[in-house]
Structure 1
Amino acid sequence: MSDLTILHHSACSTSRHALDEASGAGVDAQVIAYLKNPLSREELLELIGELEDPPADLVRKDGFFRAQGLDPDDYVTPEAVAGLLVDHPRLMQRPVLVRGGRAIIGRPKDRVASFLA
């Protein structure tokens, strides 16, 4: 059984970096392709509860976000973030690493190694 979970998007170089770091550190990781297997609202709320970063940081404010006419100020609470990510899983920041009841967003890349240590 793995002691690390990585919410992963294979097209993302930062996400692939997290997988490489885990492998290099000899850490067995469960990899969840969250776009193929989106998290439920309850799972997202649990993740946000473990997240060391502010809930708003879990949302990508990219071109898709802007194209939807969304306002970043509307997505700062755990409930609002979870609701948005249920509707638009592609807006979840990646990678997200979960271990021992703690979770971080693996951006910038140098956060990953210290989290795995």
Structure 2
Amino acid sequence: MSSKIYHNPSCGTSRNTLAIMRASGEEPEVIEYMKMPLSREQLVALLAALAVPARELMRAKGDLYDELGLADLTLSNDALIDAMSEHPILMNRPVVVTERGTRLCRPSELVLDLLANPVREYTKEDGEVIRFSD
């Protein structure tokens, strides 16, 4: 199985996660979901792999979230999935899929547990150094 990253190159966390994967010897399939939005079926499958409800994958920042009234806790999982499918900016990122599992990697160092040969040290864009130990 090859690894995948659901990536937004405008997001620092997403860029750091992809860089950590590459520094660890992975060359994942990069899915720029803002250019090629996930279908409803793809989102449902991704949520199943993550084993979380839609709200946990939803990005709650930004005007669109508020404009669409998505903070309403009575909204169904289906309504949230529909919103993310229609407006991909609402999907939190990055999501990484490897043989070891699927995870929303916020912060970016959460990807380390998903990698076969994780880099031992990495310096993020902001200068923060992360270290991985077994």
Please, what TM-score do these two structures have when normalized by structure 2? 0.76
For the residues of structure 2 that align with 1:72 and 1:116, how far apart are their CA atoms?
36
- The change in CA–CA distance for 1:83 and 1:9 in structure 2 (over 3 A counts) is same
For the residues of structure 2 that align with 1:101 and 1:76, how far apart are their CA atoms?
30
Percent identity between matched residues is 35
SS of the aligned residue for 2:73 comes to helix
Structure 2 residue identity aligned to 1:94: R
The higher-RCO structure (CA 8 Å, 6+ apart) is: 1
Deviation readout 1:3-49 (Å, 9 max, x if unpaired): 11100001100000111011011012000110000010011101010
Number of equivalences: 115
The aligned residue for residue 89 of structure 2 is 90
The aligned residue for residue 67 of structure 2 is 67
For the residues of structure 2 that align with 1:15 and 1:75, how far apart are their CA atoms?
28
8 Å contact kept, 2:3–2:29? yes
Give ranges in structure 2 of 5+ residues lacking alignment.
117-134
User: Mapping of 1:1-117 within 5 angstroms?
Assistant: 3-64=2-63, 65-74=65-74, 77=77, 79-100=78-99, 102-117=101-116
Deviation readout 1:82-108 (Å, 9 max, x if unpaired): 211111111000101112383211102
- The change in CA–CA distance for 1:74 and 1:9 in structure 2 (over 3 A counts) is farther
For the residues of structure 1 that align with 2:92 and 2:76, how far apart are their CA atoms?
14
Structure with more of its chain in helix, by fraction? 1
- The change in CA–CA distance for 1:49 and 1:61 in structure 2 (over 3 A counts) is same
Structure 1 residue identity aligned to 2:114: F
For the residues of structure 1 that align with 2:18 and 2:74, how far apart are their CA atoms?
32
Please, what TM-score do these two structures have when normalized by structure 1? 0.86
SS of the aligned residue for 1:38 comes to coil
Give ranges in structure 1 of 5+ residues lacking alignment.
none
SS of the aligned residue for 2:41 comes to helix
For the residues of structure 2 that align with 1:110 and 1:73, how far apart are their CA atoms?
30
SS of the aligned residue for 1:56 comes to helix
For the residues of structure 2 that align with 1:66 and 1:20, how far apart are their CA atoms?
32
For the residues of structure 1 that align with 2:76 and 2:102, how far apart are their CA atoms?
17
